[in-house]
Structure 1
Amino acid sequence: MSKHSTPGHSRPAPTKTQKFTIAGVATLGAAALAFSLVPGSADAGTQTQSLEAAPVAFKQNVDAQQAVHAGVIKQQTSADKQAKAAKDTADAKAKAAADAAAKKRADEEAAAKKKAEDERKAKEAASRAAARKPVYANNLDGWIRQSLDIMKSKGIPGSYEGLHRNIIRESAGDPNAKNGWDINAINGTPSVGLLQVIQPTFDAYHVEGTSTNIYDPVANITAAANYAADRYGSMDNVNGAY
C-alpha cells in the first residue's frame, strides 16, 4: 500500500542524533536556570541581607514621605490659623471703629437734639416770662410799683405808701428835681431826683439791675430805699429829711 503525505510543506522526522542533541540542550538549559536561581554560598549572605533590608528601606522611605507630607500639612494649617487670626483681628478693629463712629454720631445727634430742646424750652420760658412781666406806666405810680418789685426781689423793705409820701415831700414827684441851696449843694454834691439823693449815696447804694443814671426814676427810688433800709430800717420810717 503506497503512503501519501499531508498536503503542504513536508517536514522530515528528526533523526535519533537530532533528538539526542535537543535533549542535551534542554538539559543544559535547565541546569543553567537552576544554577542562576540557586546562588552560590559566596553570594547567599549578601543577597539575603539585601532581601531583608529592602522592606526596611521601603518603610523608611514611606515614613520620610509621610513626615514631609505631615510637615507641609502642619505649615499650611499654621498659615491658615495665622491668616484667620489676622482676619479676626482686622474684623474686630473694623467693628470697634464702626461701633465708635456710630456711638459718636449717636452722641452728637443726642447732644444736638438736647441743645435744640433746651433752646426751645428757653424760648418758651422767655416767652412765658415776657407774658407775665408786668408793664409799668411811665409815671410816678408806675415808677413806684416797678421799684417795689425790684426791692422785693432784692430783699429791701418798703411800701408804696412810704415811698410815695417821701417822694412828694422831697421832689413833688419831679424826677428832674435838684436842690441847689442846701448844704449838699454848697459842698458840690446837690440832692437830685425823686427822693433827692446825692451822687455819693447813689453810688454806694445803687441796686444792680437798675440804671446808673441818678436821674432815672426807678434807679433813684430804689437806691434811696436801699439807703433808708440801711439807716432807718425802711423808707416807711422816714418822715423828714434823711
Structure 2
Amino acid sequence: MVPAPNRTPTRHQTARRPLTESARRTAAHTTAALGAAVGVVSTGAFALVMPTTTGALPVADAAEIPTSLAANSTTLPVDTAPVRTSSSTLGTLSPVAFVVNTDDTEVGAPTDPDIAALDKGGKLADQLAEMHAQAAREAAENARIDAIVANGGLDGWIAEALRIMEMPQSYAPSVKKIIMAESGGNPRAINNWDSNAARGTPSEGLMQTIPSTFRKFVHPSLAGRSITDPVANITAGVRYMVATYGIGTLASGGRSNHLGQYIGY
C-alpha cells in the first residue's frame, strides 16, 4: 500500500482553532446585545423572539456592540395607536332611542316593516271577520222579518212597514201599542164621531190618519195604495208622529197625559 500523500489545508479548509476566553466573552456580549435589541430569549438550543416595548438598547450593552452591527441597527418604532378594547369585536352598539308619541298613532305600534305588515294584515283579517259576522246577523234578522211578514197579521204589517222605512225593528212594540190604542188592530176602522169626522175627514186605518195626513206622510214607495192598506197606513202614521212629536214619542208608545194615560196624536 502506498502511503497517502500529505494533504495541506487549503484556504477554504482552514483548521478550526478553539476560541480564547477573550473571544468567547466578546461573542457572548454580542449575542446578548442582539437579543436585547430584538427581544431574544435563549432557551438551550432554541431562541424565543419577544417584542420589546421600546427599540432602544441599554446604554451598558450598546457600548459593547461591534461597530459593524451598531451601524446596521435600527430603533424599532413605538406603536402609539390607542389600544382597542375587547368591545370592538362585538361590533358597534347603537344607542336606544325613546320616541315620544306626538300624534294619534297607537303607542307601541311596531316599526319594523315586516312586523308592521303582519300587524296590518291581522287588523284587516279582524275587520273582514267582523264584516262577515255583521252580514250573517243581518241575514238572520231579514229571515226573521220575512217569517213575521209571511205570517201576516198585525205583527207582519208592522215589521214590513218598519223595514220599508228602514227603521229598527226594536220600535215594533211601541208601534203596536199605538195601533191598539187607535184602532184595536183593525185596518178598516173609521172614526165617525170626533172633530175630524165632523169636518168630513174622518180618521181611518190602523193608525187613524185623515186623508190629507195620509197623502203627505205615506212612504213614497207606497203612495199608490189606499188609506186603509195596513202597511201604507202604518208608514203614514209613524212618519207623521216622528215629524210632529219626535222619535221619543214613537219610542214611548205615543203621547200620554200627566197620569200616564194614552192620548191621541
Same fold by TM (over 0.5)? no
Which protein has the larger Cα radius of gyration, Structure 1 or Structure 2? 1
Specify which structure has the higher proportion of strand. 2
Question: TM tier, shorter chain?
Answer: 0.3 to 0.5
Question: Which of structures 1 and 2 has the larger relative contact order (alpha carbons within 8 angstroms, sep 6+)?
Answer: 1
TM-score (norm. length: structure 1): 0.42
